[in-house]
Amino acid sequence: MATVGEAPTLFLRKATGLVKGWSKFDAFLYSFMSVNFVTLGLFFAFSVLAFVPTGQILPALLISGVFVSFLVVTYAGLISVMPRAGGDYVWQSRVLGGGIAFVLAITGWWFILWYWAPIYGNILNVEVFQPLAAVFKLDGVSEFLASNNGLFFVCAVTVLLAGYLVSLGMEGYAKIQKFCFYVGMAALAVVFLVMLFGSQSGFQNAFNEEAANLFGASGDVYSQTIEMGTVNNGGPIVPELGFTPFFGPTLLLVPFLCFWILWPNWGATLYGEVRGASDFKRVMSGMMWGLWITVGVALVFVFLADKFFGWEFFNAANLNYWATVYGFGEATMPVWSYPPLLASFYFHNELISALIILAFGAWFLGWAGTLFLSSTRVIFAAAFDRILPEKVADVSERRHVPVWALILMLVPALIVSAFYAYTSTFRTWILDATLVIAVTFLGSAIAAMILPWRKKRLYESSPMARYKVAGIPLITVSGFLTAGFLIFNLYHWFTNDLYAINDPDSLVFMGSMYLLALVVYVVAKVVRKSQGIDLGAIHKEIPVE
């Protein structure tokens, strides 16, 4: 019952679109699956720590988490100012202009995801196919999967799987993602329990036995792994755990971690109608929880890996894997030292190992659809803006599948996969894929920074206008810090050999993607002008008075 003096609330009538928000858990879930600890995290971040031997993972994790939090605030702010705009392309086009937005977003969310297909494929290979083949001692299959043909096969499977998930539609995929979350978390819990209650000596014995059983190794393979790591690294391989007053090269770990942790905004959630600041907080908290629970899981993993595998062994095994990939050394295992696979050795049971690996596959399945979903949206948005032909936004009549958008993703992704599988140079080139998406995020961070001035009315009518830091709009502050963080990472990716993505050919190659986007935009502008359509008019504001 209302009482005199309480804060007035608005009266709503029954009208279309008046929803009651969404559960925080759902918002968390999609963010959590985007900063996927098992796929990107274990393979692209935690497997490369040994490359910075004196870097400290714990502070690096926390520093990355704090700065990615600014990214979260920035994106939540953009969502609350332009709720239904639907992402980087539309935000940037409204603030920075259609041309810049098209070039940045189309490159970052369309072209570059062709190159992510082999990255996804590679993860499917090392986290699902190869461990399963190893567990069942299918040597022929293992050989095939390690070959160029095998790599192409796995990439093709990934591309087709991602295409299929998109064709299911968002509702179908959302259900699959939720299912995958539960299965993946259950599997993670099992492995964490094994790591918590199992002893390191027990693991050493299990590893030695299974290495002999599965890979034909002999002797103390555990110690051999560490020795081999020292040789491969040309010195001690132990990155330090814990804090010291001086971070030393710890910050160098951050760009590695950003291969994984930079994406909590990937599936930014919808924003309701006739709502206010509470929705900004809700959007932000969903992504923030996704980010920080992931950071928490990672921290727990680090402590458990230290306890159960031994931090030195864990890093040596990973380093040895990369030594075989890049050809600068050898390894004791013919497959990547995938932590769930290692932990499953504790059971000395092939079936249990296989079940654990398959259950961990849920982390991949719940993530694979993200490969093309965002691209489809950007392609649609560009078609609706008449930059791309309207045909590319067609959906099939019977199953409502975005046929042309999928073709524009699948065909180039398959071609790229073939290049990836059969030419080693190409593998280095495409590592810049992360860099390109970070550049797109940088565009949005800059758009967020200047939004309160560039789109004053829009900003002032939004809930974000209430949030200020020392009199400066919060979205400007968070945009500035996000931009700074992204520039820090980009600088290191561009200039430091450590990250293996500053290959000049790679930069030229990725630069050509921007050029391609620019050419598409210019051609579209000319063609549309001849048809009487001014692309520059899309975001021109009509005077009010």
The interface with other proteins within residues 27-56 (CB under 8 A) comprises: 27, 29-30
- Site for other proteins contains 361 (CB under 8 A): no
- Site for other proteins contains 527 (CB under 8 A): no
Closest distance between other proteins and the C-beta of residue 458, in Å? Answer: 6
- Site for other proteins contains 19 (CB under 8 A): yes
Closest distance between other proteins and the C-beta of residue 272, in Å? Answer: 8
Among 81, 117, 291, 449, binds other proteins (CB under 8 A): 81
Among 91, 309, 313, 380, binds other proteins (CB under 8 A): 380
Site string for other proteins, 211-250 (x = CB under 8 A): ----------------------------------------
Q: How many residues are there in the chain?
A: 545
Of 339 and 366, CB closest to other proteins = 366
Among 138, 148, 175, 523, binds other proteins (CB under 8 A): 175
- Site for other proteins contains 407 (CB under 8 A): no
- Site for other proteins contains 189 (CB under 8 A): no
Q: Where do runs of H (alpha helix) occur along 327-398?
A: 339-344, 350-368, 370-384
441-480 residues in contact with other proteins (CB under 8 A) are 457-458, 461-463, 466
- # residues near other proteins by CB under 8 A: 81
Which tokens in the block code for residue 499? 């990250």
DSSP letters, 264-311, are: TTTTPPP--SS--HHHHHHHHHHHHHHHHHHHHHHHHHHHHHHHHT-H
Contacting range for other proteins; rule: CB under 8 A; set: 323-331, 379-387, 429-437, 490-498: 379-387
Among 62, 66, 100, 174, binds other proteins (CB under 8 A): 174
Contacting range for other proteins; rule: CB under 8 A; set: 63-71, 342-350, 357-365, 377-385: 377-385
- Site for other proteins contains 102 (CB under 8 A): no
Which tokens in the block code for residue 347? 């059971």
Neighbours of 414 (CB within 10 A): 17
- Residue closest to 178 by CA, chosen among 170, 167, 188: 170
- Site for other proteins contains 94 (CB under 8 A): yes
251-290 residues in contact with other proteins (CB under 8 A) are 267, 269-270, 273-278, 286
DSSP letters, 185-238, are: HHHHHHHHHHHHHS-HHHHHHHHHHHHHHHH---S-HHHHHHHHHHHHHTS---
Angle between helices 88-95 and 98-106 (to 10 degrees): 160
- Residue closest to 266 by CA, chosen among 451, 481, 124, 116: 116
Terminal Cα-to-Cα distance of the chain (whole angstroms): 43
Closest distance between other proteins and the C-beta of residue 543, in Å? Answer: 5
d(CA 106, CA 440): 9
Site string for other proteins, 110-149 (x = CB under 8 A): ----------------------------------------
DSSP letters, 319-334, are: HHHHHHHHTS---SSS
* Eight-state DSSP code of residue 241: P
Site string for other proteins, 288-327 (x = CB under 8 A): ----------------------------------------
d(CA 287, CA 71): 10
